[in-house]
Amino acid sequence: MSAPILPGSAIGVLGSGQLGRMFAIAARRMGYRVHTLSPDEDTPTGQVSDVEIQACYDDLDAVRDFARRVAVVTYEFENVPLATAEAAAECAPVRPAGRVLHTTQQRLREKTFLAAAGLPVAPFRAVRSLAELETALGEIGVPAVLKSADFGYDGKGQFKVDAAGQAAEAWQAVGRREAVLEGFIRFEKEVSVVAARGMDGSFAHYGVIENEHARHILDVSVAPARVSPRVANDAVEMARTVLEKLDVRGVLCVEFFLAAGGRLVINELAPRPHNSGHLTFDACLTSQFEQQLRAVCGLPLGSTEQLRPAAMANLLGDLWQDGEPDWAAAAAIPEVKLHLYGKLAPRPGRKMGHLTALAADIATAEQRVRAARSALARRPG
């Protein structure tokens, strides 16, 4: 095995959003330098990095140049094109490898991989035309969800089909491009497992996190999840299988639906730290971001021990609707931590930051984080 990449080295991050920002904060705390590349400037990641390169992902010369200046390249955004990861890999190791990106960035490949690995997924069909959608609806039945195969996030490119007569509307809604039709799962709750795998094949996980979505966007997460020990164990073992079969060197999150009777169904994978793991920043000995750093640098993984029960609430751009949120009010609630991503335009639905609350039990943590978020929306004066 090659020697670990030690503090003082430069790490390259493809993508420049909040995941890269929190990664950069963790990396700088340990004395690494961080370079980021994305098409944007003054980005959440760039603001806290040593070097911010503004280039398109398909500017492969810029990507190679970027990779030559760092010891390892990772990513915070799974829609980086495979060609970009491959160009970077000519000049530096890319972790997780481009093939992990390739499998997980397209829903059809991802589901095909999961099904082939014997892991539980919702029934699904590939859809490439309206006629195929009609056939698939006949096979899967309604309700079902049509999702564009590429570039989905926060519920974008999705349409819930409640009646077979909605096929044309659904096909239009996902942009008439390659899609996946999947059966609708009547879940009791949604949960996730954030896990890491080191260069030596070691595995670490943060247990099960419970997630509540609003308008298809993650709203609140709590950990540890209120699930049975059997469900927790099954979810972690499925995550382990995913990381091993994909040969991940880095962090990956598995999103699950938990249906009646403790039945777990894998919804999707993210080959990077995940929004549901943001609470690890304040609640765990080693955050998911430091864990990504350790994994891609070939260092031993850190302890994932959770110090106290925790809850996280996202702050979306909608909160700015009537002006600047009341930061002082949230800061006045002890045991609540404020994270803001440095984004300049607070558009509705855009993830601008989050709050984390710690408490003696998860119910109190959740209540505290929701109270802090409500306090933000009340204007001073």
Ligand X SMILES: Nc1ncnc2c1ncn2[C@@H]1O[C@H](COP(=O)(O)OP(=O)(O)O)[C@@H](O)[C@H]1O
Q: Which one of 9-17, 150-158, 241-249, 294-302 is the stretch in contact with ligand X (CB under 6 A)?
A: 150-158
- What CA–CA distance (Å, rounded) separates 313 from 114? 30
Instruction: Pick from 91, 184, 326, 342 the residue near ligand X by CB under 6 A.
Output: 184
Other CB atoms within 10 A of residue 74 CB: 28
Site membership for ligand X, residue 264 (CB under 6 A):
no
- What CA–CA distance (Å, rounded) separates 221 from 369? 10
The residue (of 190 and 290) whose beta carbon lies closer to ligand X is 190
CB of 174 to ligand X, least distance (A): 12
Number of residues that bind ligand X (CB under 6 A): 16
The residue (of 147 and 354) whose beta carbon lies closer to ligand X is 147
List of residues 6+ apart from 322 with CB closer than 8 A: 377, 379
Site membership for ligand X, residue 185 (CB under 6 A):
yes
372 three-class SS: helix
The residue (of 154 and 188) whose beta carbon lies closer to ligand X is 154
Considering only residues 299 through 328, tell me which ones interact with ligand X, judged by CB under 6 A.
none
3-state secondary structure 101-141: HHHHCEHHHHHHHHHHCCCCECCEEEECCHHHHHHHHHHHC
Site membership for ligand X, residue 216 (CB under 6 A):
yes
Q: Which one of 55-63, 178-186, 293-301, 338-346 is the stretch in contact with ligand X (CB under 6 A)?
A: 178-186
CB-CB contact of 192 with 253 (8 Å): yes
CB of 4 to ligand X, least distance (A): 33
Q: Which one of 59-67, 77-85, 184-192, 226-234 is the stretch in contact with ligand X (CB under 6 A)?
A: 184-192
| Distances in whole angstroms, Cα of residue 208 to Cα of each of 17, 68, 87, 250 | 25, 38, 36, 18
Instruction: Pick from 17, 44, 93, 152 the residue near ligand X by CB under 6 A.
Output: 152
Site membership for ligand X, residue 122 (CB under 6 A):
yes
CB of 137 to ligand X, least distance (A): 14
Torsion of CA 228, 234, 239, 245, to 10 degrees: 180
Site membership for ligand X, residue 139 (CB under 6 A):
no
Nearest to 79 by CA among 110, 54, 43, 51: 110
Site membership for ligand X, residue 155 (CB under 6 A):
yes
Closest-approach residue to ligand X (CB): 185
| Distances in whole angstroms, Cα of residue 1 to Cα of each of 4, 5, 89, 243, 297 | 9, 12, 18, 19, 12
The residue (of 170 and 372) whose beta carbon lies closer to ligand X is 170
Handedness of CA 84, 89, 95, 96 (dihedral sign): positive
Site membership for ligand X, residue 110 (CB under 6 A):
no
- Evaluate the omega torsion of the peptide bond into residue 143 and state whether it is cis, within 30 degrees of 0: yes
Site membership for ligand X, residue 76 (CB under 6 A):
no
Residues that bind ligand X (CB under 6 A): 122, 145, 147, 152-155, 182, 184-185, 190, 213, 216, 255, 267-268
